[in-house]
Amino acid sequence: MFGEYGLYCDGKFFAVILDNRLFIKVTDRVKEIYSDLNEVHEYGAPHHFLIEDVDDREKLTEIVRVTCEALPEKMKRKKS
């Protein structure tokens, strides 16, 4: 796993905070809307957007909303 913070929305893991930086999972829809975001490959993790301007609340809110809508529903675990 990772060593800092994971962020969830409605049970969906969508972002991490590492070294005081916000990384949000890459989705095609966010790529379409925000072509200015930097896609990074750090810490051995899959592709993430590095969100550098966390003070732009409206943009950040929209990125999170669109990301969470695009992610698949959380799979339910089978009871054994």
Average pLDDT along the chain, 80 residues, taken 10 residues at a time: 80 90 92 90 76 93 95 72
Cα separations in angstroms, 29 against 10, 44, 68: 19, 23, 11
26: closest CA among 15, 11, 36? 15
Q: What is the pLDDT of residue 44?
A: 60
Helix (H, G, I), strand (E, B) or coil at 65: helix
pLDDT of residue 49: 92
The pLDDT, as a whole number, for residue 2 is 57
The pTM for the full model equals 0.81
**pLDDT at 69 (0 to 100):** 95
From CA 58, how far away is CA 3, in angstroms rounded? 28
pLDDT at 38: 84
Helix (H) or strand (E) run with residue 18 in it: strand 12-18
